Chains A and B, each alone.
Chain A
Amino acid sequence: MKTLRSVFRFYVDGFREMTLGRTLWAIILIKLFVMFVILRLLFFPDLLAGKDPQERADYVLENLIPEN
């Protein structure tokens, strides 16, 4: 328990004492928000999501066989 508390304090103090790190964390959080919320949700629909393994196999098989 004491170890966990000291690890927790380590991180809290580390974040609190940051200077340049605050700017970098702001950039990281904005970047992750753009990537995971805006891009992932709005622009990256997974074409194979929601399909069971057989449906996925059928879907890809259709794409692998050229239309005559």
Chain B
Amino acid sequence: MITDYLSTVDWSRAQFAMTAIYHWLFVPLTLGLGVLVALMETLYVRTGDEFWRRTTKFWMRLFGVNFAIGVATGLILEFEFGTNWSNYSHFVGDIFGAPLAIEGIFAFFLEATFVAVMFFGWNKVSRGFHLTATWLTAIGANLSAWWILVANAWMQHPVGCDFNLETVRNEMTSFSEVALSPVAVNKFFHTVTSSFTLAALFVVGVSAWYLLRGREKRMASKSIALASVFGFVFALATAYTGDRSGAIAAQTQPMKLAAMEALYDGGEGAPLTVVGVLRPEAERSSNDDAFHFRIDIPKLLSVMSFRDAGAYVPGINDLLAGNAERGILSAEEKMRRGRAAIDELERYRTARNAGDTATMEAVSRLFDRSTPEGEAFLRDYFAYFGYGYIDRPEQLVPNVPLLFYSFRVMVGAGCFFILLLAVVWWLNRRDRLASKRWLLWVAVWTIPLAYLASQAGWIVAEVGRQPWAIQEMMPVGIAASKIPSGSVTTTFFLFLALFTALLIAELSILFRQIALGPKND
């Protein structure tokens, strides 16, 4: 039974990861291309030039394909919360459900209402109204992202809630703390700016393909002119928000940061590893034996984490063994405190089953922040609740190689995008881009690289949180439903088939539409 449950947890994780990865293939292009299309239509409305109308309609068609194939794929993730993650859903549904509900009611309907005007409204509504609908569709898509990312950010950094012992639920105490936590705000801007960059690279890449074919030269050149500037600005913004993400992780998820850097021993003036090759897991135990080779930039990790070249950055070993000098509790101590919190839950259950109201009231006071004993218990014990389910400290370390390499793929690709977009903009402005065929091919092949970088970013965010479903509050093993692994395995392959079919449909329709090119009215 225990073996089957472990298998269920692993399959549930694999299924959620696979669903999220496929879902994220559709989302970033919708977020960014919507804004680019709105900018192109703005140029049309301002200039009255029919060229911009034709160009807008072409890119809008590609936006429509991506939007239609991708729409509602995220609903499967919401199904999975109820089925594969029912303990999680009940435990935090009061908080987690609110942003998802707002997303469904407000943002999605804004998007869904105006997308019809966007596609059906040419020649039927005024130019100004049509442009408004296009902008509202783009804004609606990004507002949807806001609420989804608020929910995700809360899992990375749970704030604005209190645990209710009677209902066994975490209940929201401050909506603004949840919706405007620094993690949520930065996550939104990092995700959206990176999605804008991806969409810009998509437009540049497709336009480069036209230039290679000697087709649609004016549309390709003008699209590159707009998208390269747009992409360059937002790629820089992505770098800025990414830097903020690192600093926030240093405060809220130090194990994630240590694993991203394969930093085993903390220290002052910690270096940042630019590139490196990790040794196998069994051989890694300290900074001295973690790498086959590495190239570091001295003190940069301290600067990026705490804006101080001499700041102390804890390593994996510090976070596991503890460091009294730095005020870091050991994992064993956190596990002991977490078990003490779980013991109180058990004492409450036993008392309730026995009708022992005196004990029930005594335990209830421990979970009441307004009482002195409650304030101390919640701070010193319940704050480590999730650690009570951890068997061995090593379970607290996420997959170091996956994080280390994914992070470098994301950052390396991001730096390359900045350079590429700047060079493409410059050469296009000088009317020399069409002759640089090698660069045009690079631009075409940068489209899949942009998707790879975007997925790598999510791997860093989500794998880095492991073993937690909710940071330090609930590990994935407890969050998962106790359902037979066979049914999770079956649905895993069903989703794989469904999403692969959708991806093939999207790519085949997109390629056909790109081959057809813009149409004349």
* B116 and A65 within 8 A (CB): no
| CB proximity of A52 to chain B, nearest CB, Å | 12
* B494 and A39 within 8 A (CB): yes
8 Å CB contacts to B: which residues of A1-38? 10-11, 13-15, 17, 20-21, 23-25, 27-28, 31-32, 34-35
Instruction: Known contacts A13-B124, A31-B72, A39-B491; decide if A20 and B65 are in contact (CB<8 Å).
Output: yes
Contact partners of B509 in chain A: CB under 8 A:
20, 23-24
Instruction: Known contacts A47-B483, A64-B87; decide if A24 and B64 are in contact (CB<8 Å).
Output: yes
Of B162-170, B184-192, B429-437, the one touching chain A: B162-170
A27: which of B68, B79, B513 is its contact (CB, 8 Å)?
A: B68
Contact partners of B482 in chain A: CB under 8 A:
63
| CB proximity of A9 to chain B, nearest CB, Å | 9
8 Å CB contacts to A: which residues of B476-521? 478, 481-483, 487, 490-491, 494-495, 498, 502, 505, 509, 513
Instruction: Known contacts A21-B119, A24-B68, A32-B72; decide if A64 and B168 are in contact (CB<8 Å).
Output: yes
Q: Which residue of A lies closest to B512 (CB)?
A: A20
Q: Which residue of A lies closest to B124 (CB)?
A: A10
* A64 and B83 within 8 A (CB): no
CA distance A20 to B516 in the complex (A): 12
CA distance A53 to B322 in the complex (A): 40
* B168 and A14 within 8 A (CB): no
Q: Which residue of A lies closest to B120 (CB)?
A: A14
CA distance A46 to B168 in the complex (A): 18
Q: Which of B68, B166, B505, B509 has the most CB of A within 10 A?
A: B68
Is B90 interfacial (CB 8 A cutoff)?
yes
| CB proximity of B356 to chain A, nearest CB, Å | 16
| CB proximity of A10 to chain B, nearest CB, Å | 6
CA distance A14 to B124 in the complex (A): 10
Is B89 interfacial (CB 8 A cutoff)?
yes
Binary interface profile of B, 119-152, with partner A (CB < 8 Å = 1, else 0)?
1110010000000000000000000000000000
CA distance A17 to B490 in the complex (A): 40
Q: Which residue of B lies closest to A46 (CB)?
A: B82
Contact partners of B495 in chain A: CB under 8 A:
39
A20: which of B61, B86, B121, B389 is its contact (CB, 8 Å)?
A: B61
CA distance A20 to B71 in the complex (A): 16
* A64 and B478 within 8 A (CB): yes
Q: Which residue of A lies closest to B168 (CB)?
A: A57
Contact partners of A27 in chain B: CB under 8 A:
68-69, 502, 505
Is B22 interfacial (CB 8 A cutoff)?
no
Of B217-225, B342-350, B448-456, the one touching chain A: B342-350
Q: Which residue of A lies closest to B89 (CB)?
A: A48
Contact partners of B89 in chain A: CB under 8 A:
48
8 Å CB contacts to A: which residues of B60-116? 61, 64-65, 68-69, 71-73, 75-76, 79, 82-83, 86-87, 89-91, 116
* B68 and A40 within 8 A (CB): no
CA distance A45 to B342 in the complex (A): 29
CA distance A43 to B61 in the complex (A): 34
| CB proximity of B478 to chain A, nearest CB, Å | 7
Instruction: Known contacts A14-B116, A57-B167, A65-B345; decide if A48 and B90 are in contact (CB<8 Å).
Output: yes
Instruction: Known contacts A45-B83, A64-B87; decide if A11 and B120 are in contact (CB<8 Å).
Output: yes
Q: Which residue of A lies closest to B68 (CB)?
A: A24
- The 7 nearest A-B residue pairs measured at CB: A14-B120, A24-B68, A47-B86, A57-B168, A60-B90, A44-B83, A46-B82
Q: Apart from A10-B120, A27-B502, A39-B494, what are 15 other A-B pairs with CB-CB below 8 Å?
A: A11-B116, A20-B61, A23-B509, A24-B65, A27-B505, A35-B498, A45-B83, A48-B86, A53-B167, A56-B168, A57-B169, A60-B86, A60-B87, A61-B349, A64-B478
Instruction: Point out residues on A near B: beta carbons under 8 Å.
Output: 10-11, 13-15, 17, 20-21, 23-25, 27-28, 31-32, 34-35, 39-40, 43-48, 53, 56-57, 59-66
Instruction: Point out residues on B near A: beta carbons under 8 Å.
Output: 61, 64-65, 68-69, 71-73, 75-76, 79, 82-83, 86-87, 89-91, 116, 119-121, 124, 166-169, 342, 345-346, 349, 389, 478, 481-483, 487, 490-491, 494-495, 498, 502, 505, 509, 513
Q: 5 A–B contact pairs at CB < 8 A? A: A14-B116, A27-B502, A43-B83, A43-B494, A57-B167
